[in-house]
Structure 1
């Protein structure tokens, strides 16, 4: 990828080695990190440009408004394009800012513009202001929405104005099947849909011979849950975010999947429910009886902090563990404990975040006999 802001914009920190060079650097570092655990790593490459489905851009709103990003010196620099963004966003950015410039209502005290797009070619734009927004703003924004065939949301302090809808529909192909996902503005979604497809496919392929029921913690909007459900009799998936759980429940309807139940619980709360230390009305209301599940496998995709102590002990109850990690350091800490009683069967690196130091990892473990 060529970008005229390499070395200036601080978003892409490893920019001088080319795509393959930055990937090799990260892979070598992580091979060394995990060499005591495993030695046969699968590597999944990203596209080298137009791979990112969401982005946040500050607005420099002086004499000539412009998108801005923080540079290596922590100061804002003006930009007019960002080639890591999916093509619908990349193509929209310059056209959108030109129209906003010419509209006093839309441009006045505009602070930030957020984009969310999909492989389904839908795009949602959030315009965020340091001023109240009202019906006059809404009329101007609606013209912009219709002109570019996009969805627009306005935000100011304590106010959210939705013109048409506050979500997009993503379509992912996993093996020979397509899945639809409702992705709500402000909720977590995987930033690189191409790598996301590869991660889900990898997890599904490598769990096809597992049996019984699946427990998933940190399930988000059901990103992994929906495809993995085909490998198991029943699935119980938990997530603490209200908006993510709402989307997840709508996603099973979109895909006509019958063997999944979602519960809004943190991982710590689920541990209490699993060991019958505490009863939760949220489980009773959905007629979820943990005693009726025959869990053989647990799937975890925790935040950067990794597994907390109680959850790490919980996952040892299961025959198989599928662990997706966005932080190799906390993954290594967790694996040190897990490999005492588990054997690593598969280990993969996924380049979710090209041109940054970050590398996503996937590990599948089975209990030692």
Structure 2
């Protein structure tokens, strides 16, 4: 990827070396961390080097009567204005600059106290634009934003303190070809979505490859989000129990389950720690009164925790399950958790997925089988 802001914009920290070398360094870093637990070859899933990011947020910089997009600078001291951002997918790129032109050409209605713009797009050319303000939005704003929505062929939302204005929808609909089948995902503005669609498909297909080697039993998933992994993997198990703490994500997951006509998944709004308490019989939850937990016989569990990794109780719980698929956004905490998990399990497959090119961040995954 060529970008005129390399070296000054803090969004892409790796800009002095080519993409092949970036990927090699990430592979070496994760291989070293996993070396005590895995002696096999690390599978590497690369990314497009530009137009790969389907979610992006930009500050709005006001200079006189003009607005520009801005990002934090690479020294983390202040911000720089930008004139291009080739990492965003094309449905964002083709709208973001037209949006800025419209904002600068408008009266104060669109630009007054506008401080940020967020984009959420799909590979099917849907785009949701959220405009964030330090002021209350009125009917005049709604009228101008509505005209803008039509001009850009997109969906627009406005947000300010304690206010959300939805002009049409607050979601986009993504369709991904995964392991020979099309899956439909409704992705909400306020919910978590995987940022790199191309790598996301590779990551799900890697998890499916592991699930196919099991071929029996029920499936447990923690941190399921909107059903990103849940829906495709459900095909390879009898019953699925998937948990997530976010109400919005559970709402989207249920909607996505219906859209894809999948009937063997039960979603429950539980934090990882609560899931552990419920399955161990430590505590009863009214949210689970319609679910017979004793009817499940889990052969496989998938966890995709935040950067902090897994808590001790969850590690103890999943250590009782024969197969574990662990997707990690932090290889350091993954390695820490493997110190305990590998007392009962062995790592039989491992991979990295480059969701964030031109940064030091790397996603990784391991598949463990009980010894």
State the SS of the aligned residue for 1:215.
strand
**Partner of 1:13 in structure 2?**
13
**Partner of 1:99 in structure 2?**
102
Runs of 4+ in structure 1 off by over 6 angstroms are none
- Offset from partner CA, 1:291-336 (integer Å, 9 cap, x none): 0111111110000000011111111110000000000000000011
Larger mean Cα displacement after TM superposition, 153-162 or 28-37: 28-37
Displacement of 1:36: 2.0
CA contact (8 A) 2:91 2:123 kept: no
**Partner of 2:88 in structure 1?**
85
- Offset from partner CA, 1:261-283 (integer Å, 9 cap, x none): 10000011111111111111111
Displacement of 1:80: 2.0
Alignment partners' CA distance in 1, 2:222 and 2:36:
27
- Which one of 291, 294, 297 corresponds to residue 294 of structure 2? 291
Displacement of 1:116: 0.4
Displacement of 1:343: 1.1
Q: Compute the TM-score of the two structures, normalised by the length of structure 2.
A: 0.97
- Which one of 284, 287, 302 corresponds to residue 282 of structure 1? 287
Displacement of 1:209: 3.0
CA contact (8 A) 1:209 1:231 kept: no
Q: Compute the TM-score of the two structures, normalised by the length of structure 1.
A: 0.98
What does 1:216-231 align with in structure 2 at a 5 Å threshold? 216-231=221-236
CA contact (8 A) 1:81 1:93 kept: no
- Offset from partner CA, 1:153-203 (integer Å, 9 cap, x none): 000111000000000001111111010001000210001111000000010
Gaps of 5+ in 1: none
Alignment partners' CA distance in 2, 1:151 and 1:21:
39
**Partner of 1:4 in structure 2?**
4
- Offset from partner CA, 1:331-368 (integer Å, 9 cap, x none): 00001111111111110011011111111001000000
- Give the number of equivalent residue pairs: 366
- Offset from partner CA, 1:230-270 (integer Å, 9 cap, x none): 01000000000000000000000000000001000001111
Alignment partners' CA distance in 1, 2:32 and 2:316:
26
Gaps of 5+ in 2: none
What does 1:228-307 align with in structure 2 at a 5 Å threshold? 228-284=233-289, 287-307=290-310
Alignment partners' CA distance in 2, 1:288 and 1:35:
41
